[in-house]
Chains A and B, each alone.
Chain A
Amino acid sequence: MQSSEKYVASLREMQSAFAAALRDPAVACAVLPAENLSIYRNNAAVSFRVALEGSYPVVRRRVGDDYFRQLTWQYRERFPSRSGDLHWIGQDFPAFLFEHLQGSEYAWLADLARLEWARSQAAIAKVEPPMLADVLGRFAPGQLEHLVFGLQPSLQLIASDFPIFSVWLANQADNASPVDQSVGPECGMVRARSDLLEVRPLEPRLFSYLCALEAGAPLGEAVNTAGLDQSALVSALGFVFSEGLVSSVR
């Protein structure tokens, strides 16, 4: 190449330079007018922020808009978007909050974020036709403890050392009072039911039972894992069918 010839960057180089300029206003890029790169920079930032706000409305409500925007900027630096589908923008936000807040008095926000992400995932999961309890009549009594239940694809089971279900439920409206953290650990489920999303705390043994079933444990093993007595077993079995959580039995 003669020294007088103008170097023409490759397409990849041009796009890399454009992307670098989006990340850092101090970086030059061969476009005109250069100051209009700010529009694309703002578009990307707003798309990211709006997507995160949509996935984490209660975290945002608890920390306030200003701090949530600060967290968004820091989160984007650490976990930039890896998909053309905006749904996945918030996938790593619980892990980011855990890194960012562990050891602080706000560590519980990471678990609240896990609950909210579970809700986002439940919202996009398929809803299967529920099995009714009379399906158990097809099996001999001796077979029941060996049955394996398939649960609804949308079911998400969450446990925390903090009262995150109480916080979530209390913050479905603005200006909720803070929940007393001394309430302690909570566990529960998130699931889709028709066009509704349900967030529900559960009694620990019932939660343990559902976790075992979801992991594929046969009915008898799930009962033992959860430490259910006969009365609790009947109640738990009634729960999974009355709530439409069972999608298959084999």
Chain B
Amino acid sequence: MARLESRGVPGPIPACAGIGFRSVHHHELVAERPAVGWIEAHTENYFHEGGAAGRALERARANYPLSLHGVGLGLGSAEGVDREHLIRVKRAIARFEPALVSEHACWGRAGGEFFNDLLPLPYTDEAVELLARQVGEAQDFLGAPLLIENVSAYVSFEHSQLKEWEFLSAVAAISGCGLLLDVNNVYVSSKNLGFDAQAFIDGLPADRVGEIHLAGHAQSGNLLIDDHGSQVCEAVWQLYRYAVSRIGAVPTLIEWDTHIPALSTLVAESRRADAILGEVRGLAA
């Protein structure tokens, strides 16, 4: 696999705010080099040897630490993990040398069909065992630790035995993976399913949380829809402040996947996250 001529910024991703690497911003990000701490790209968009997207990420990688965030592995699928997909993730890691690699606590295939969505898991002992095993196997194959993200949920399974935070904590303890805490997803799920969002955060092993996501959501009737298509709302900012006061400063991504605004808007959101992280560091000093 071709190596970058200009090595990216070495070392771990700093405990500050980063932004998503979106195709509409590729040229501007490389040309203007806004002062954000790091960038995150969706792994599946960089599966292929060629393509303008890969070349753009190589150019951006020379200026920013990188996180690769996957959406298609379905590590909780009882039908198993697609080995070809895993191979492509490994190639992307080799090509772009991310400092963080992440995926989701979800499943995505059954009966030979892929649903290309982050489908919710039942919180059962069997699901803990399967997800932890497939996360562990993926980490071994990739040669990299994974951060596993909590997804937004619109349903709960009748057979669930555990709370979601108990489930994620068990998966992390067994597999050795880290956790990616999506604060917006916690908020959305807490409203949709009726649990205490702070209890969720309190229930996670703080030392396992390696990254935080912040995003916007939409309202549809009584439901919150996780569309990642707007600014972070005040309630989520407050929950984020609570999370970092408990967990400490960790790399925080402004995640905006739909109705993508100007790059300056993402940068402005990241500044607010940086301000909260700065306050937490000040209190901890």
The residues of A with any CB-CB pair to B shorter than 8 Å are 8-12, 14-16, 18-20, 22-23, 30-34, 36-37, 39-40, 43-44, 47-48, 51, 80-87, 89, 123-127, 153-154, 192, 195
Instruction: Check A15 against B79 for contact (C-beta < 8 Å).
Output: yes
Picked from B49, B51, B109, B117, the residue with its CB within 8 Å of the CB of A43 is B117
Picked from A19, A31, A39, the residue with its CB within 8 Å of the CB of B110 is A19
Residue of A nearest to B112 (CB): A82
Instruction: Check A10 against B115 for contact (C-beta < 8 Å).
Output: no
Q: Taking A19-B110, A47-B117 as contacts, is the C-beta distance between A12 and B50 under 8 angstroms?
A: no
The residues of B with any CB-CB pair to A shorter than 8 Å are 44, 47-52, 55, 71-74, 77-79, 82, 85, 88, 107-117, 119, 122, 124, 126-127, 130, 154-159, 192, 223, 225
Q: In the complex, which residues of chain A have a beta carbon less than 8 angstroms from the beta carbon of B55?
A: 195
Picked from A8, A30, A123, the residue with its CB within 8 Å of the CB of B51 is A123
Instruction: Check A126 against B50 for contact (C-beta < 8 Å).
Output: yes
Number of cross-chain contacts by CB at 8 Å = 126
Q: In the complex, which residues of chain B have a beta carbon less than 8 angstroms from the beta carbon of A22?
A: 115
Residue of A nearest to B77 (CB): A15
Residue of A nearest to B157 (CB): A31
Please report the C-alpha to C-alpha distance between residue A12 and residue B127 in the assembled complex, in whole angstroms.
10
Residue of B nearest to A76 (CB): B113
Q: How far is the CB of B217 from chain A (nearest CB, A)?
A: 13
Instruction: Check A32 against B158 for contact (C-beta < 8 Å).
Output: yes
Q: In the complex, which residues of chain B have a beta carbon less than 8 angstroms from the beta carbon of A153?
A: 49-50
Q: How far is the CB of A78 from chain B (nearest CB, A)?
A: 12
Q: In the complex, which residues of chain A have a beta carbon less than 8 angstroms from the beta carbon of B108?
A: 84
Instruction: Check B50 against A123 for contact (C-beta < 8 Å).
Output: yes
Instruction: Check A125 against B157 for contact (C-beta < 8 Å).
Output: no
Instruction: Check B117 against A30 for contact (C-beta < 8 Å).
Output: no
Q: How far is the CB of B132 from chain A (nearest CB, A)?
A: 13
Please report the C-alpha to C-alpha distance between residue A12 and residue B159 in the assembled complex, in whole angstroms.
13
Picked from A31, A32, A84, A154, the residue with its CB within 8 Å of the CB of B116 is A84
Q: How far is the CB of A160 from chain B (nearest CB, A)?
A: 25
Q: In the complex, which residues of chain A have a beta carbon less than 8 angstroms from the beta carbon of B110?
A: 12, 15-16, 18-19
Instruction: Check A31 against B50 for contact (C-beta < 8 Å).
Output: no
Q: In the complex, which residues of chain B have a beta carbon less than 8 angstroms from the beta carbon of A47?
A: 116-117
Please report the C-alpha to C-alpha distance between residue A87 and residue B72 in the assembled complex, in whole angstroms.
11
Instruction: Check A87 against B47 for contact (C-beta < 8 Å).
Output: yes
Q: Taking A19-B110, A19-B111, A39-B154 as contacts, is the C-beta distance between A83 and B50 under 8 angstroms?
A: no
Instruction: Check A81 against B114 for contact (C-beta < 8 Å).
Output: yes
Q: How far is the CB of B151 from chain A (nearest CB, A)?
A: 11
Q: How far is the CB of A133 from chain B (nearest CB, A)?
A: 24
Q: In the complex, which residues of chain B have a beta carbon less than 8 angstroms from the beta carbon of A83?
A: 72, 82, 85, 114
Instruction: Check B223 against A10 for contact (C-beta < 8 Å).
Output: no
Can you offer 6 A-B residue contacts whose CB atoms are under 8 A? A19-B110, A23-B113, A40-B117, A40-B154, A84-B108, A125-B50
Please report the C-alpha to C-alpha distance between residue A124 and residue B48 in the assembled complex, in whole angstroms.
6
Q: In the complex, which residues of chain B have a beta carbon less than 8 angstroms from the beta carbon of A11?
A: 78, 122, 124, 126-127, 130
Q: In the complex, which residues of chain A have a beta carbon less than 8 angstroms from the beta carbon of B107?
A: 15
Please report the C-alpha to C-alpha distance between residue A213 and residue B187 in the assembled complex, in whole angstroms.
59
Please report the C-alpha to C-alpha distance between residue A240 and residue B126 in the assembled complex, in whole angstroms.
59
Q: How far is the CB of A41 from chain B (nearest CB, A)?
A: 9
Q: Taking A82-B112, A84-B108 as contacts, is the C-beta distance between A36 and B223 under 8 angstroms?
A: yes
Q: Which 9 interchain pairs have the tightest Cβ spacing?
A: A84-B72, A124-B48, A19-B110, A12-B78, A31-B155, A36-B154, A126-B50, A126-B49, A80-B113
Given contact pairs A85-B47, A124-B48, enumerate 6 new A-B contacts (beta carbons under 8 Å). Answer: A47-B117, A80-B112, A80-B114, A86-B116, A195-B52, A195-B55
Instruction: Check A85 against B72 for contact (C-beta < 8 Å).
Output: yes
Please report the C-alpha to C-alpha distance between residue A36 and residue B119 in the assembled complex, in whole angstroms.
12
Instruction: Check B78 against A31 for contact (C-beta < 8 Å).
Output: no
Instruction: Check B130 against A84 for contact (C-beta < 8 Å).
Output: no
Instruction: Check A31 against B156 for contact (C-beta < 8 Å).
Output: yes
Q: In the complex, which residues of chain A have a beta carbon less than 8 angstroms from the beta carbon of B156?
A: 31-32
Picked from A44, A84, A154, A192, the residue with its CB within 8 Å of the CB of B73 is A84
Q: In the complex, which residues of chain B have a beta carbon less than 8 angstroms from the beta carbon of A40?
A: 115, 117, 119, 154-155
Q: Taking A84-B73, A85-B85 as contacts, is the C-beta distance between A14 and B48 under 8 angstroms?
A: no
Q: Taking A9-B159, A83-B85 as contacts, is the C-beta distance between A39 and B79 under 8 angstroms?
A: no
Q: Taking A19-B115, A80-B113 as contacts, is the C-beta distance between A85 and B88 under 8 angstroms?
A: yes
Q: In the complex, which residues of chain A have a beta carbon less than 8 angstroms from the beta carbon of B82?
A: 83-84
